[in-house]
Amino acid sequence: MLNVGIDIGGTKIAGGIVDPDGAILDRRRVPTPSDPQALADAVAAMVADLVTDRVVHAVGVAAAGFIDASRSVILHAPNIDWTDEPLRDELERRIGRPVTLENDANAAGWGEYRFGAGREVRDMVMITLGTGVGGAAIIDGELLVGGNGIGGELGHIRFERGGRPCGCGQNGCLEQYASGRALQREAAEIAASGAFGAGLAEVRTAEGIVPAAAMEALIAAGDAGALEAVHRVATALGEACGGFQAVLDPGLFVIGGGVADLGERLLSPVREAYATALPGYGERPIASFAIATLGNDAGLIGVADLAGGRV
């Protein structure tokens, strides 16, 4: 049975027809309209375009933000100006089929669990390191949704009491220490400090920013400053995973998002920091760490599969 998966991002909407093995048979992409009604129209048009003469079972839509426990209302979304938006009903009215919503990080976690890096385990945590941090937890084969629908927000666990302010209204959130933006911040600070050589300082812009491409080149070249920036981010992530282990006890952590392109250069210091921060280390089983395998498609694939199981 085929399902449609739609992933609403900050700049583009990606959609696809997903088969029962998680393969994308057909796909579409359009820019994300800023107006909620226009966005619902665009999603409906994409679904209609994807379905055409196929037999489609259900439609799943992933979006950033807090989604209510019934998986129908966006309580609050960061990218689009939404508060208590009944997106599911808006979409169902336009599409004429059952629609289910899911948080984008949860959808990506489910995708990796079902068809990607996590398909051999039943207890898994996924952390998506994009500009910010997305989290998802699979507990005994079930997606942790939460009593209010907004569990698994792993990027906003407190990493440092009284630490860096976060857009969520708190301070010290993990997202401020382990994310794409955090990596850039560490790089800029190292460049400004002059420590670890001149590599980062040479590539930074007049605004003090280290461009992502230059950062990647330095890391590949083994530049000490760039590697130090990675090490700081990895250390924060690994220490946080020690805490997630205490609470959720997964068998596997899957790391995704753009920062995960660093691969073993990221995972190796993450594992080290995890070991130093794990309560009861030495007296308990420890988790494995793996890089996500579905890339940007994880959310689209995951939400299509979730939709098929929910309706």
- 173 vs 298, beta carbon nearer a second copy: 173
Q: Which of 7, 85, 228, 239 binds a second copy (CB under 8 A)?
A: 239
Three-class secondary structure of residue 27 per DSSP: strand
Strand partners, 13: 8, 30
Q: Which of 291, 243, 296, 288 is nearest to 265 (CA)?
A: 291
- 1 vs 213, beta carbon nearer a second copy: 1
- 205 vs 276, beta carbon nearer a second copy: 276
Rule CB under 8 A: say whether 302 interacts with a second copy.
no
- C-beta of residue 239 within 8 angstroms of C-beta of residue 274: yes
Rule CB under 8 A: say whether 291 interacts with a second copy.
no
DSSP string, 51-94: HTTS-EEEEEEEESSEE-TTS--EEEETTTTEEEE-HHHHHHHH
In angstroms, give the least distance from the CB of 40 to a second copy. Answer: 14
Q: Which of 242, 256, 269, 299 binds a second copy (CB under 8 A)?
A: 242
- 123 vs 305, beta carbon nearer a second copy: 123
Rule CB under 8 A: say whether 28 interacts with a second copy.
no
Q: Which of 10, 33, 36, 146 binds a second copy (CB under 8 A)?
A: 146
In angstroms, give the least distance from the CB of 101 to a second copy. Answer: 14
Residues from 49 through 88 that contact a second copy (CB under 8 A): 51-57, 66, 75-76, 83
Total residues contacting a second copy by CB under 8 A comes to: 71
Rounded Cα gap, residues 127 and 291, in angstroms: 10
Distances (CA, A) of 86 to 36, 98, 304: 10, 14, 19
Q: Which of 102, 104, 112, 123 binds a second copy (CB under 8 A)?
A: 123
Three-class secondary structure of residue 117 per DSSP: coil
Q: How many CB atoms lie within 10 A of CB 51?
A: 17
Rule CB under 8 A: say whether 243 interacts with a second copy.
yes
The 152-181 contact track toward a second copy, x by CB under 8 A, reads xxx-xxxxxx----x-xxx--x--------
In angstroms, give the least distance from the CB of 148 to a second copy. Answer: 4
| Token pair 């059952």: residue | 98
- The CA angle 70-297-79, to the nearest 5 degrees, is 55
Q: Name, in order, each residue with C-beta under 8 angstroms of 149's C-beta and a sequence gap of 6 or more.
A: 66, 67, 68, 69, 70, 71, 75
Q: Which of 22, 135, 256, 257 binds a second copy (CB under 8 A)?
A: 135
Q: Which of 23, 212, 281, 295 binds a second copy (CB under 8 A)?
A: 281
- 156 vs 271, beta carbon nearer a second copy: 156
